[in-house]
């Protein structure tokens, strides 16, 4: 008998990343929250899983370079569609004492069209074991695109997939706080694994504690909720089991970009391997601890081999 590895599909936007390496010198890379998660999962699981990415890119040289890099790193690119009249977005990381802020140029991002074709989207999610997306995936779409994405997720779940969702709220991508509060719960209603960050939930939904976030999300019927809280403890509720796992201190912090994405990858990869929740949270913390010691939003591939 042959064993078919699980198929993991992440949906979202990949951007050109310019990360500072010294004063006025930047390193070009590619990053995006769900892309970072998918990339790390593929490096962690290798041949134990098929990992694909669903997005739209341009037909320019940078898009060509990204696709070549994705394939070299073992990602399935069959879910990448090319647009002749659009290209990739770009962002620049600004650092102050390892804390980052971002400057974006993404108005012409081809990824804004990733839900324009419902048949293509459904085909891209076919046979998925796990579909991962974020609030950024949702925010870059127009209202009709969000409806089409939601319908695709409903169908994927009917076909046997689980959906993991990191709300990852970026206010600049939304028209108002009301739009955030009206839209995010629609996607929580089709979520099996919720991976929120407490600071986002407190700021936009008024949660006083991580436990309050868990109680609110549980009302959507989500049975696996893991609340990240920066350097604070991770709080979780998984099938009615409540956990609090202290986050280990990290001595070398260079750039906190992508920490939450890396946590998601470590946690989801461990769960896919059948590890229990507490061990899986620790795996997520370990990967997040590694990425904040690197420049940019992904751990260098040579360093991933040791993990």
| Three-state SS sequence of 250-286 | CCCCCCCCCHHHHHHHHHHHHHHCCCCHHHHHHHHHH
Under 8 Å between Cβ of 126 and 9: no
Examine residue 2 and state whether it is found in any structural domain, yes or no.
Answer: no
From the list 33, 200, 207, 261, the catalytic residue is: 261
What's the pTM value of the predicted model, to 2 decimals? 0.95
Q: How many folded domains does the chain comprise?
A: 1
Query: Is 196 within the bounds of a domain?
Result: yes
Determine phi and psi for 171, rounding to 5 degrees.
Answer: -55, -30
Q: What is the pLDDT of residue 125?
A: 97
Asked if 261 is an active-site residue, the reply is yes
- Return the exposure string of 42-65: e unless at least 16 CB atoms fall within 10 Å of the residue's CB, then b: bbbbeeebbbbbbbbbbebeebee
Tell whether 1 is covered by a domain.
Answer: no
Residue 28 dihedral angles phi and psi, to the nearest 5°? -85, 130
pLDDT digits (tens, 9 = 90+) for 69-123: 999 999 999 999 999 999 999 988 887 765 667 889 999 999 999 999 999 999 9
Range of the domain at 178: 7-304
94 domain residue, yes or no = yes
Is 187 a member of any domain?
Answer: yes
What is the Cα Rg of the chain in Å? 18
CATH number of the domain residue 39 falls in: 3.40.1190.20
Q: Answer yes or no: is 61 within a domain.
A: yes
What is the per-residue pLDDT across 140-171, written as a single tens digit (0 to 9) for each?
A: 999 999 999 999 999 999 999 999 999 999 99
> Looking up tokens 């950024």, which residue turns up?
136
Determine, yes or no, domain membership for 215: yes
How, if at all, do strands 193-194 and 162-166 pair? parallel
């Amino acid at each position: 008998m042959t064993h078919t590895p699980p198929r993991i599909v992440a949906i979202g936007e990949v951007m050109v990343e310019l990360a500072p390496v010294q004063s006025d010198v930047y390193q070009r890379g590619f990053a995006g929250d769900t892309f970072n998660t998918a990339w790390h999962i593929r490096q962690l699981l290798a041949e134990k899983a098929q990992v694909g990415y669903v997005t739209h890119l341009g037909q320019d040289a940078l898009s060509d370079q990204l696709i070549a890099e994705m394939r070299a790193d073992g990602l399935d690119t069959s879910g990448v569609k090319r647009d002749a009249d659009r290209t990739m977005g770009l962002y620049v990381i600004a650092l102050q004492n390892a804390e980052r802020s971002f400057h974006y140029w993404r108005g012409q991002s081809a990824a804004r069209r990733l839900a324009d074709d419902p048949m293509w989207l459904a085909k891209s999610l076919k046979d998925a074991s796990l579909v991962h997306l974020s609030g950024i995936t949702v925010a870059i779409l127009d209202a009709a695109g969000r409806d089409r994405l939601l319908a695709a997720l409903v169908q994927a779940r009917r076909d046997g997939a689980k959906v993991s969702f990191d709300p990852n709220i970026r206010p600049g991508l939304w028209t108002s706080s009301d739009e955030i509060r009206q839209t995010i719960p629609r996607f929580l209603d089709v979520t099996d694994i919720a991976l929120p960050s407490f600071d986002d939930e407190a700021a936009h939904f008024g949660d006083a504690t991580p436990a309050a976030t868990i109680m609110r999300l549980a009302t959507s019927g989500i049975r696996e909720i893991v609340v990240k809280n920066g350097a604070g403890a991770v709080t979780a509720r998984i099938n009615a089991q409540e956990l609090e796992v202290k986050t280990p201190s990290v001595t070398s912090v260079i750039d906190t970009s992508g920490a939450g994405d890396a946590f998601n990858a470590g946690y989801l990869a461990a769960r896919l391997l059948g590890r229990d929740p507490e061990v899986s949270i620790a795996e997520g913390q370990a990967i997040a601890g590694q990425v904040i010691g690197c420049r940019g939003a992904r751990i260098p591939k040579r360093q991933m081999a040791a993990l």
